[in-house]
Structure 1
Amino acid sequence: MTASFTVIELVGGILSDSLALMSDAGHMFTDTLAIGLSLAAMKVAMRPANAGKTFGYLRAEILAALVNGASLVFISVLIIYESWRRLTSPPEIDANLMLIVASLGLVANGAGVYLLHDRSKATLNERGAFLHMFGDLLSSVAVIVGALVMIVADVWIVDPILSVMISVIILAGAWKLVTQSTSILLESTPSHIDLEDLSKGLMGIDGVTGIHDLHVWTLSSGLHAMSAHLVVKDRMLSDCSGVVQMGESMLRERFGISHTTIQVECDRCEEAACVFDHHK
């Protein structure tokens, strides 16, 4: 459906000479690619892990989200550039044709937003697809309002102004998507996790005297991982399982982290061969 209306809006934009309509067509074209890319990425992400890719293909969704966001940024910049050119000498627009085509686009985009709304917060990839469709919906509304203004008042400069407004709105959402995707690919600490609070939680476990090499990152949307070295009081290795279990339980309940790797070390052992070095 999105692909069909892309062609309809492009033809309508060319015939009416409306940049706003052609911009919306360009955006819908990226939607078609984005939705296809999102579906492919979700299918790839479901593949099981193997010896070559021990984490599986979970990052495929993040890569797709990054491509979606980057494509939106690129399209928005192009539209703003062309709008700036038209502001100095706005052409006459066939506003009636523009209104008809934009109204059809509104129906199509409204249906897409409705279908994707419930999944818009599930993953970054799905959020990217939703932002594409929501951006198209806003575009259609703006184009309809602009067409009505031009029909009533013959103010042709409305067309490039609308194009800029639409692009800025889309650009804001796209930029957030790009920064979130990049942050995950750089394995940054998830924004909702306070690393100091997490460290205090681990230090609060009975017997833990120190912690180092603490890392928390995101594997894919909603799936976080942590690794750390815990320094404990001198004890038998078999007695350390309780420390690990308490750490895993705390991380899961307080921070929602289920993928953990905890290495236990001791300050000193009775046997000289059991002395371990650790970072202060």
Structure 2
Amino acid sequence: MGDRHTHGTRHGSGNLKVAFLLNFTFTIIELIGGLWTNSVSILSDAVHDLGDSISLGLAWYFDRLSKRGSTPGNTYGYARYSLLGGLITAVVLVAGIGFILWQATQRLIEPEDVDTTGMIVIAVIGVIFNGAAVLRVRKGSSLTEKVVSWHLLEDTLGWIAVLIGAAVMAVWDLPWIDPALSIAISLFVLWNVFRNLRKILKVFMQRTPTDFDVGAFESAAKAIPGVVDIHDTRSWSIDGESHVLTTHLVVKTDAPADRVQSIREQVAACIGNDAFGDVTIEIEYGLTR
């Protein structure tokens, strides 16, 4: 039996901490600004940013928690706990977006005047805060930071859209643009929430990682001289980033120990994916082929 353990060190991320503080501070500004300007598009983005703040806060917390490593009660460590953060964030966003969509639909039917000057001020602040968070998080090297940076970039682009909408309403009397923007932003965010929720559920259900082909792996392993068969290959993901694989490898009965070790290493190389931190290859002996 052979095992490969290549866990990378999970570095604490001050980038996530700074992004969280920037995002949460701006969420408060948004809530106040949305009520001040009577803008549902700003309120809808405030709900979105509240979900982002929760997500960033949990990512920061779980990043620190994951450093504990494996324990008798958590033999794979605490990395999987990060999925709870994603699930909680999705529930918060879906509930908030549902409320905003209802409000925006009512406002679209009966448009109300908004404070376009106030909207422009809030939108400029939004671009500055979210842009600063993007620049900070993009300095990180972890996959989590890269995903968060793209999410924050989407937020920045959303505020650019609000800025354009406010500028248009400042010139023309088109109050329906505000709820229309709110609905568009909400639907875009909702689509992303369900897309990410689907990924989370796949990990919870221990589905095979999408970037790993079990059939191709077994075919490549069987082509290695000295391999009689390979079966019962199981693969799943711990947290969507770090994967696990177990398999049973049958080698020739007369294969010497050093040859078996060489074969096992060649089979492990067939995985071809650095995301697999835990690989267990159970050695069995079979008929010579």
Question: For residue 227 of structure 1, what is the aligned residue in structure 2?
Answer: 246
Q: Which has the higher contact order (CA 8 A, sep 6+)?
A: 2
Task: Quote the Cα distance in structure 2 between the aligned partners of 1:127 and 1:171.
Answer: 21
Select which of 239, 258, 273 maps to 1:255.
273
Q: Is it true that 1:109 corresponds to 2:130 in the alignment?
A: yes
Task: Quote the Cα distance in structure 1 between the aligned partners of 2:114 and 2:263.
Answer: 72
Matches within 5 A, 1:193-272: 193-235=212-254, 238=257, 240-251=260-271, 254-256=272-274, 257-267=276-286
The 10-residue stretch of structure 1 (20-29 or 154-163) with the greater mean CA deviation from structure 2: 20-29
Q: Is it true that 1:65 corresponds to 2:86 in the alignment?
A: yes
Question: For residue 69 of structure 2, what is the aligned residue in structure 1?
Answer: 48
**Structure 2: any 5+ residue segments left out of the alignment?**
1-21
Does the CA contact (< 8 Å) of 1:2 and 1:32 recur in 2?
A: yes
The 10-residue stretch of structure 1 (233-242 or 167-176) with the greater mean CA deviation from structure 2: 233-242
Question: For residue 82 of structure 1, what is the aligned residue in structure 2?
Answer: 103
Specify the code of the residue in structure 1 equivalent to 2:78. Y
Does the CA contact (< 8 Å) of 2:228 and 2:287 recur in 1?
A: no
Does the CA contact (< 8 Å) of 2:112 and 2:175 recur in 1?
A: yes
Question: For residue 8 of structure 2, what is the aligned residue in structure 1?
Answer: none
CA deviation profile, 1:123-157 (whole Å, cap 9, x unmatched) = 3x445643552343133112111111111111110
| 1:40 to partner: Cα distance | 0.1
Select which of 132, 136, 141 maps to 2:155.
136
Specify the code of the residue in structure 1 equivalent to 2:284. E
**Structure 1: any 5+ residue segments left out of the alignment?**
270-280
| 1:14 to partner: Cα distance | 1.0
The change in CA–CA distance for 1:34 and 1:235 in structure 2 (over 3 A counts) is same
Q: SS in structure 1 opposite 2:270?
A: helix
Select which of 141, 149, 172 maps to 1:153.
172
Select which of 153, 158, 167 maps to 2:186.
167
Q: SS in structure 1 opposite 2:138?
A: helix
Question: For residue 50 of structure 2, what is the aligned residue in structure 1?
Answer: 29
Specify the code of the residue in structure 2 equivalent to 1:7. I
Does the CA contact (< 8 Å) of 1:42 and 1:60 recur in 2?
A: no
Does the CA contact (< 8 Å) of 2:34 and 2:42 recur in 1?
A: yes
Does the CA contact (< 8 Å) of 2:58 and 2:82 recur in 1?
A: no
The 10-residue stretch of structure 1 (237-246 or 149-158) with the greater mean CA deviation from structure 2: 237-246
Question: For residue 60 of structure 2, what is the aligned residue in structure 1?
Answer: 39
Q: Is it true that 1:188 corresponds to 2:207 in the alignment?
A: yes
Normalising by structure 2, we get a TM-score of: 0.82
The change in CA–CA distance for 1:19 and 1:78 in structure 2 (over 3 A counts) is same
Paired-residue identity, %? 28
Aligned residues: 265
Normalising by structure 1, we get a TM-score of: 0.84
Task: Quote the Cα distance in structure 2 between the aligned partners of 1:115 and 1:36.
Answer: 15
The 10-residue stretch of structure 1 (195-204 or 229-238) with the greater mean CA deviation from structure 2: 229-238
Q: SS in structure 1 opposite 2:114?
A: coil
Task: Quote the Cα distance in structure 2 between the aligned partners of 1:184 and 1:108.
Answer: 32
| 1:105 to partner: Cα distance | 1.7
Specify the code of the residue in structure 1 equivalent to 2:269. S
Does the CA contact (< 8 Å) of 1:72 and 1:174 recur in 2?
A: yes
